[in-house]
């Protein structure tokens, strides 16, 4: 059976303010649960500050969670302490960063970047490293591999650098790849090429991708499933086709109404509402979107909504569009 | 060989209401051997009260174009050819003192990272006062009152004149900058990627407000972005730039319906749609050229799907001869050898 990555009740809080005053906590990630299956792309979308990058960093253990579990192969890896376990996990879960200019060492060749993980994780015999490096480069579309292996990062375009970063992630033959905004710093005309590469790799290598982005159109293009985050919580999840065509949560609807799409012709203006600057700081028991929500009812400012599956496989945190049974009862009393 | 403006078709003579006219504008970075030509012989008109968009990828010269209208090019960049006419006056001949008065009063500019341009230790209102009093005889209290009105106009609580920049979110700070850009009622506001650093919802809110203000106050906008789909919704007319040249120019809806240049077509196919079936897209192969040694002939030819050595005659033209911008329909100009051939 192929392995999958399961996240259960994952939370991360950060203290803000100084030691004496303004002691508040940012609930950057709050009770997040999802599963990454092999051979699928899962998009994690949301605005800046929604906590989506924190989720990515928790998955690759750049942060330790405040609460919750990351289960890989059924085993909780969030609290592994032994170096051997950590190295093993890292060889299975790799990350691609947003900035292809900052993530490669300018004084090292492409070959160096790809050979290092191969040697550290002992993926292939030392004598076969060069051949494997070239093969990896060709997998990500940099052919002939031998020519690119000798180049330095400054000799490559942004798109080529991002391909090197992807090849580096693939070097250790991972099961899961976390890609944090991998195309947002690239030129528009080459973005589709990187997205197509992700689709090809998911199929050929049976990879599970977590694609972290603020760009809904690209999420719709590559993703099988979508997770929508707002103020640290997942407010909607489900198959990409459903969530992005018939969204349940008012925030997903607002996001969709905001994306430029000329094929839709003239669209009505979105309603401008003043939301709280950050609903994730010391959140009260209420829906975090209530300040900006056009559908808000009385209960929304009293009770935090649960994720409720209002349609098959599609769930949302909303008292109005996806009410839980007891909320529905209360409203009808 | 680099062509000069004389070889190009000149745009129709300044029509009524022409605000800015670029005539064969050429901007170089550096001199002599190591020169990089960022803008190469661009002819372009901005009419009073219209929203014009310039779309293109990084390094295509769109920001350099904007900076030369505002006359804020910094060495090693310099205008090496052509003219920048504002209401018929060549800005390149103005003295520094005249330019200082001209900026903000006639043309103002909002940059991508403008929200970080606010002085962090000064209240927002005081920054308005400073700016206005540099240009007009106005009392401090008068300027503050005007600042409150302007903040209200862009959707910020007027009481926020007393706020420091760090007390405002990124979107609010960007709105403050837009309010400042409108303070002296300029005829043209240049916006260079004004919403790129912001979230989509905030971006849409700000664009809605700018459009409403533009209708009400009737200023012209030069809007620069890499996001062609945003421009099609927001601008009246769009120019697409590639490697220092305008390759296509048309009314926004026309460009969306009938893009003619293969680069424009490729750009449109680079934005996955939000509706309709999900189909595999191709984008554009390769990447934009290095402007210190641009390809000969049509600069797009190394990436162009219609550039085929199988047709030797056309191929020779594509790889050696620079295509001219030609009118293919009312207000629609394209620089492409294919279009010329079919158009005849």
Q: Which residues 180-199 in chain B show a CB within 8 A of chain A? A: 199
3-class DSSP state of A236:
strand
Chain A residues with CB-CB distance to B199 below 8 A: 47-48, 214
What chain A residue is nearest to B278 in terms of C-alpha separation?
A221
B275 in contact with chain A, both atoms CB, cutoff 8 A = yes
pTM of the model: 0.87
Per-residue pLDDT tens digits for A166-198:
999 999 999 999 999 999 888 888 899 999 999
Q: Indicate the angle between helix axes B124-135 and B170-182, nearest 10 degrees.
A: 20
**Contacts with A284 (C-beta within 8 Å, 6 or more apart), sequence order:** none
Element (H, E) at B152: helix B140-153
Whether the per-residue pLDDT at A303 is higher than 90: the answer is yes
Task: Determine the pLDDT at residue B114.
Answer: 74
Chain A residues with CB-CB distance to B158 below 8 A: none
Per-residue pLDDT tens digits for B238-278:
999 999 999 999 999 999 999 999 999 999 988 898 888 88
Select from B59, B195, B201 the residue whose CB has the most chain A CBs within 10 Å, as the one to mutate to test that interface.
B201
Query: What's the whole-number mean pLDDT along residues A204-212?
Result: 95
Q: How far is B192 from chain A (nearest CA, A)?
A: 16
Distance CA B65, CA B83 (A): 12
CB contact under 8 A, A188 and B200: no
Paired strand residues for A226 = A43, A238
Q: Which residues 178-237 in chain A show a CB within 8 A of chain B? A: 187-193, 195-196, 214, 216-218, 220-221
From the list A158, A244, A255, which residue is nearest B200 (CB)? Answer: A255
- CB-based contact A59:A92 (threshold 8 Å): no
Chain B residues with CB-CB distance to A267 below 8 A: 233
Distance CA B236, CA A190 (A): 27
**Strands of the sheet with B89-90, listed across from one edge:** B36-47, B18-29, B77-86, B89-90
What chain A residue is nearest to B205 in terms of C-alpha separation?
A272
Q: Which of A185-189, A299-303, B184-188, B190-194 has the lowest mean pLDDT?
A: A185-189
Distance CA B281, CA A180 (A): 22
Per-residue pLDDT tens digits for A124-182:
999 999 999 999 999 998 888 899 999 999 888 888 999 999 999 999 999 999 999 99
Distance CA A213, CA B76 (A): 37
Whether the per-residue pLDDT at A277 is higher than 50: the answer is no
Per-residue pLDDT tens digits for A227-262:
999 999 999 999 999 999 999 999 999 999 999 888
3-class DSSP state of A55:
helix
Q: pLDDT over 70 for what percent of chain B?
A: 94
Chain B residues with CB-CB distance to A157 below 8 A: 287
B269 in contact with chain A, both atoms CB, cutoff 8 A = yes
Q: How confident is the model at residue B58 (pLDDT cuts 50, 70, 90)?
A: confident
A159 in contact with chain B, both atoms CB, cutoff 8 A = yes
Greater confidence (B279 vs A327) lies with B279
CA dihedral defined by A188, A194, A200, A203, rounded to 10 degrees?
-110
From the list B272, B280, B283, which residue is nearest A189 (CB)? Answer: B283
Q: How far is A75 from chain B (nearest CA, A)?
A: 36
Chain A residues with CB-CB distance to B169 below 8 A: 277
Q: How far is B21 from chain A (nearest CA, A)?
A: 28
Place of tokens 């997205």: A195
Q: How far is A79 from chain B (nearest CA, A)?
A: 34
Q: pLDDT over 90 for what percent of chain A?
A: 61
Select from B160, B287, B300 the residue whose CB has the most chain A CBs within 10 Å, as the one to mutate to test that interface.
B287
Query: What's the whole-number mean pLDDT along residues B202-219?
Result: 89
Question: Residue A154: is it exposed, middle or buried by C-beta count within 10 angstroms (0-12/13-18/19+)?
Answer: exposed
């Amino acid at each position: 059976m192929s392995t999958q990555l399961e996240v259960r009740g994952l939370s991360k809080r950060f203290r803000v303010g100084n030691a004496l005053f303004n002691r508040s906590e940012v609930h950057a990630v709050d009770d997040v649960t999802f599963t990454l299956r092999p051979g699928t792309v899962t998009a994690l979308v949301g605005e800046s500050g929604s906590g989506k990058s924190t989720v990515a960093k928790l998955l690759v253990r750049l942060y330790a969670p405040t609460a919750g579990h990351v289960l890989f192969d059924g085993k909780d890896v969030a609290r592994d302490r032994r170096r051997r376990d950590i190295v093993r996990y890292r060889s299975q879960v790799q990350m691609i960063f947003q900035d292809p200019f900052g993530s490669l060492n300018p004084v090292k060749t492409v070959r160096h970047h790809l050979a290092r993980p191969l040697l550290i994780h002992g993926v292939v015999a030392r004598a076969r490293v060069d051949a494997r490096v070239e093969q990896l480069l060709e997998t990500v579309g940099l052919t002939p591999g031998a020519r690119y292996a000798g180049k330095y990062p400054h000799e490559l375009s942004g798109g080529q650098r991002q391909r090197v970063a992807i090849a580096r992630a693939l070097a250790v033959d991972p099961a899961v790849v976390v890609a944090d905004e991998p195309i947002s710093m690239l030129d528009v005309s080459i973005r589709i090429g990187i997205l197509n590469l992700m689709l090809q790799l998911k199929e050929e290598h049976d990879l599970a991708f977590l694609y972290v982005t603020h760009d809904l159109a690209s999420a719709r293009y590559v993703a099988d499933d979508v997770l929508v985050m707002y103020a640290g919580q997942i407010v909607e999840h489900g198959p990409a086709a459903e969530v992005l065509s018939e969204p349940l949560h008012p925030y997903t609807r607002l996001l969709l109404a905001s994306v430029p799409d000329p094929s839709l012709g003239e669209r009505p203006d979105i309603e401008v509402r003043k939301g709280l600057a950050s609903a994730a700081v010391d959140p009260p028991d209420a829906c975090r979107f209530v300040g900006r929500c056009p559908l808000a009812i009385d209960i929304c400012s009293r009770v935090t909504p649960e994720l409720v599956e209002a349609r098959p496989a599609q769930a949302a945190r909303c008292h109005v569009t996806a009410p839980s049974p007891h909320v529905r009862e209360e409203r009808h009393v | 060989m680099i062509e000069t403006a004389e070889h190009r078709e000149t745009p129709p003579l300044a029509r009524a209401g022409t605000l800015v006219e670029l005539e064969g504008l050429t901007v170089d970075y550096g001199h002599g051997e190591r020169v990089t030509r960022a803008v190469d012989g661009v002819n372009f008109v901005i009419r009073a009260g219209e929203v014009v968009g310039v779309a293109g990828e990084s390094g295509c010269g769109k920001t350099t174009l904007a900076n030369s209208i505002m006359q804020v090019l910094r060495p090693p960049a310099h205008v090496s050819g052509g003219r920048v006419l504002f209401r018929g006056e060549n800005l390149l001949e103005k003295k520094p003192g005249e330019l200082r008065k001209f900026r903000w009063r006639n043309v103002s500019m909002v940059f991508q990272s403008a929200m970080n341009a606010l002085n962090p230790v000064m209240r927002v209102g005081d920054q308005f006062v400073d700016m206005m009093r540099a240009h007009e005889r106005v009392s401090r209290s008068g300027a503050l009152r005007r600042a409150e009105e302007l903040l209200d106009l862009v959707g910020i609580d007027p009481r926020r004149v007393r706020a420091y920049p760090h007390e405002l979110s990124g979107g609010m700070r960007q709105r403050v900058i837009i309010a400042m850009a409108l303070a002296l009622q300029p005829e043209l506001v240049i916006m260079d990627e004004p919403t790129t650093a912001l979230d989509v919802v905030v971006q849409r809110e700000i664009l809605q407000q700018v459009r409403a203000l533009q209708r009400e106050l009737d200023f012209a906008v030069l809007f620069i972005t890499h996001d062609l789909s945003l421009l099609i919704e927001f601008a009246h007319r769009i120019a697409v730039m590639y490697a220092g040249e305008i390759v296509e120019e048309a009314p926004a809806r026309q460009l969306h319906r009938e893009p003619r240049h293969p680069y424009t077509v490729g750009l449109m196919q680079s934005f996955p749609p939000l509706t309709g079936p999900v189909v595999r897209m191709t984008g554009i192969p390769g990447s934009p050229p290095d402007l210190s040694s641009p390809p000969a002939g049509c600069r797009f030819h190394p990436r162009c799907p219609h550039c085929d050595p199988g047709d030797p005659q056309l191929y020779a033209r594509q790889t050696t001869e620079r295509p001219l911008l030609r009118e293919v329909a009312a207000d629609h100009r394209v620089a492409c050898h294919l279009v010329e051939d079919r158009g005849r």
